[in-house]
Each structure stands twice: as C-alpha cells, then as structure tokens.
A and B are shown apart, each in its own frame.
Chain A
Amino acid sequence: MQEIICIVCPKGCHLMVDEENDFAVTGSACEKGIDYGRNELQNPVRVLTSTVRVSGCSEEDSDIVRCPVRTDGSIPKDLMFDAMKQIDAVELVAPVEVGDVVIPDILGTGVDIIATRTVK
C-alpha cells in the first residue's frame, strides 16, 4: 500500500494505491484520480511546459521574445529532460496562434508540443 498525493487537480486528494491488489485506488474524489493513482506507480506521466524563441513579431508584440509551449497531453515522466532538449532547439516565427503544433509527436510519444500564446 502506498500513499500518494493526486496531482490531477488542485484539490490534492490523498490516494492509497494497493500494488498487491491490481493497483486498486482509494481516497480519490473522482475517476481521474483513480486513473492517476493506477498509472503513477506503473507508468508515471506528466504535462511538460516550457518556452521557445520567437521572432518576426509585429509592432504590437515587438517586446515578445519567448512563446510558451506545452505538451498537448501527458508524456512519460522520464522523458521530460529529453523533451526539453528538443524544445530548446526550436525557433518560431510570428504569427503564432494558441494550439499551433510546434513539435509533432515528441520523442515518438504521439503527443505534440503546442504553442500556448498568441503572438502577432
């Protein structure tokens, strides 16, 4: 039995995961927490956020030099630093729209890196 704190939402439920009983989860206030608890001890995943360089901005956004990005879904926790290296190599040219794909299928995870700010 392991106690972990759920990170799905800010509520922070205290979950009990029973690894000897098919990773049964108790203490969760919702279904998502049960999924999180089950995955966390077997294949932990995280959403990764960072920024990338952006250039070619319009007068209105002339002060913007970085565009925030995130994984459009969760990736395996142990791939975070490798994903950071790939993100560091990217430079965007404005205009950028929220949701634009910055890196498709990062590290073969099936998850895209997307822009999270509109830059004109």
Chain B
Amino acid sequence: MSEKKYELIVIGGGPAGLAAAHSAWESGLRKILIIERAKHLGGILNQCIHNGFGLHHFKEELSGPEYADRFIKMVEACTDGNAPEGIEIMTDTMALNITPDHEVYVSNTEGYRVLKADSVILAMGCRERTRDSVGIAGSRPAGVYTAGTAQMFMNIMGYSVGRRVVVRGTGDIGLIMARRMKLEGAEVLACIGASDHADGLARNVNQCLKDFDIPLLLRHTITEIRGKDRVEQVVAMEVDEHRNVIPGTEQVFDCDTLLLSIGLIPENELSKKAGVPIDSRTSGAVVYENNETEIPGIFACGNVLQVHDLVDFVTEESIRAGQAAAEYVLGGCKAKTSDTVFALANGENVKYTVPMKARMEEIGKFLEVSFRVKKIFGAGSAVVVTQGDQQIARFKRPYMSSSKMEKIRIPKALIDKIDPLGEPLTVSAVEEVE
C-alpha cells in the first residue's frame, strides 16, 4: 500500500498547530495533516477555562476553550474543490519519530505507520517542571501536583483536588489555580516564590491573589514536604539573594495539597530526533527569521520554540511558520542558501532572542525579535540593538519585566545598515539616561 504523501505535517493540535495548519492552507497548501496525541484538538487551552485570551488576535476577551473552538472551526472550514476533505486530523495519535527528510513515524489504534511529507511544523508545546527541578526534599505522599495537572483534574475531570492548598511558584498557572481552588471552596494558604517579584503577569497577581486575600510570600521556598499517604504539612523558609535558605526562618503550613508552578520546558524530544539543533537559552529550536530550523523544511512555533505568556502571540508566530512552510513547499522544497546570514545575540539584561539567525534578503518590512529581560525596568527604559559599537535601533519602553515576553520590530531600512558578515546583532535592555 502506498502511503499518501503530505505537503505538510503539523505535530501538535494545540493553538500553535491549529494556527500553523490554517495559515499554511490559506497560503496555498492542500495536503495538510495535523497529528494530536490527545482525543481532542485544542491542546492546553481546553483546561484553561479562565478568561483573558484573544484580546490581540480577536479583539475580544475569550476563555481558553473558546479561543481553541474558534481555531478548530477555522481549520474544519478549510475545504475547497481541490481538497474537499480539507485538513486531515489524526487525534489519539502519537508521533514517535521525525527524520531529517520529513518522515514522521506515528502510532495509533490503527497501528504503526511511517508518513512522508514535504515539510514539517513542530508545534508540540511544553510540559511543566516538577518538584525534582527545584529540589524539594521530604516524603512523597499524594497531594503534590504541578499546577497544570491540578488544573486538568479540576477543569476537565471535575475533581476538587484539595481543601487546604499551598502554591509553590508564582507563574501564571499557579496564580490562576490559586484563584480557581479558592472559588471552588478550598483554602489557599499562600503562594510562595523565591525571587523578589511574582513570575506571572501583574494582572494575575492582582485578580487572582489580591482579590481573594491570598498571601504572596516572596523570597521564600519550600524546603520539606511532610505526610505519609497524603500531604500533611509543608515547610517554607526564607531565602537570601543567592537563593540559599536562611536558617531559623522555618514556617510550617498545615495543608493537604501542594501545587507547583515553577516553569515550563519545551517538549523537543522529537525535534532532537530529527537532528534539529536546540538553543540552550530557550530550550527550543534554533530558528531563522521565518521560523525555519537548521533542517530545511522543518519549522517550529509556539511553546515548543519559546515559552510564551500569551496565546495571541503563539498564534502570530504560528501563522508565520505556516506561511513559511507553504512558501517552502510551493517553491519546490529548495533549501534556502544565503551568504548574508547574520546571528542575533542577547546583550546586557536580555536572556535570549528568537530568532537566533536571520537571512538579510528574506527580511520583509521589518525583522521581529522576541526576547525576555532579566529584571524589572521602570519608566524610561529602552531596548537597544547594536552591532559592535554601532547602534542600529533604539526602542523606548515604559516598563519591562522578566514575567513578560518583549518584542521589537526592526525596520528593514535599519537592518540594511548592518554588515551581515560582522559581529552578531545584539539586543540589550538599558535604563534610559536623559
């Protein structure tokens, strides 16, 4: 039996995969397959029942499932005379391997198959860090969950999860789950973070913690979990500026549940199997200006590329990846060769940049660069783009925080001033000196 060959296989049916597939269709591809390991499309949005999604993309405030629903319907509506069956969707299907020449090995109830494609978009999202990654000692009773797992138990399966809750970590999912559990009748004793500010968005500190009088305990960590079958207590301690615990500061919380919201890890096992180089700063693929990885015809977008705060920006990035995949396939699947590739680098107070490389002649009206800063910048700060000693561009910012991804758009006219063979284009964050 000869397998159908696809123009594009999208790995993952969450917000990134849906937007990428839809955009590739809009850009002219007709043989598109989305592979999703869960039973339903929509990814993590299905359990993110809170509001605040879509303000940028749809100009209205939606819940996560609503945002997903719109994209699912847009993908389902992709059909025409040339492709009456539209975009093919395989749910309950696990992608096991991807090869550099775009073969995708999959497994589902119909068995194991090798699918071929002209191009692949990586849209696998990310997973949560666990207690091991912050080294919490103690016993291993029931009641210790990552915030996202608790969110699934509560919002998808309808379980109550716990009655007296401590949240370790101040990421958005942790803040949102603190509010959610409080609304469902649980007592939330504290939200505990090691740094001097919350990792989540300021609006979530406000509407999830302050609204419900949930204490935010900063510069603290959990040092011990106690309990035999179920969590009975956790011990919190203050930490110094090097994050070492300060002896004598123990506080014991009587609780039955500990939620962990301590960061996300892009799920790049498949990318690595395909030989895609991974950037150590983002834990995502090294990509060019069009979201193409170092392997021609393989693109990456969404949380598998860099951890986002907002689904709207995942959508924007994924539309770009879908367009780039379509351009690659419709252009005859030729690898781009360019002798004007320049690197982007993170300068002072910046953690990383996406993309990491760009091809001079491929840049349209502007080059968009996403990054995160390392600390909080107040009014009168700026993002500075330099090459060597030369300033290429400067963007004023009223406020910047590591909790929020920043973006700049460097106009093509300014990019034209750089020497592609020179030093990397460096993005830094500075306090403005007036």
Contacts and interface: CB of A to CB of B under 8 A. Distances in A.
B202 A66 contact: no
Given A10-B203, A12-B203, A46-B207, A65 B66 contact: no
B381 interface: no
B421 interface: no
Contact of B65 (A8, A48, A68): A68
Interface string B193-207: 000000001110111
A53 B158 contact: yes
B128 interface: no
Interface stretch (B45-53, B161-169, B225-233, B250-258): B45-53
Q: What bracket does the count of chain B residues touching chain A fall in? A: 20 to 34
Interface in B198-225: 201-203, 205-207, 211
Nearest to A84: B183
A65 B202 contact: no
Interface residues of A, number: 31
Contacts of A53: 158
Interface of B: 39-40, 46, 49-52, 55, 61-66, 69, 154-158, 183-184, 201-203, 205-207, 211, 309-310, 398-399, 404
18 contacts: A5-B203, A7-B207, A9-B203, A10-B309, A10-B310, A12-B202, A29-B398, A47-B51, A50-B183, A50-B184, A53-B158, A63-B39, A65-B156, A68-B155, A70-B51, A77-B211, A116-B65, A116-B69
A111 interface: no
B431 to A, nearest CB: 17
Nearest to B55: A9
A4 to B, nearest CB: 7
A38 B46 CA distance: 33
A80 interface: yes
A26 interface: no
Given A10-B310, A12-B201, A116 B158 contact: no
Contacts of A5: 202-203, 205-206
Nearest to B91: A60
A14 B201 CA distance: 12
A80 B183 contact: yes
A50 B49 contact: yes
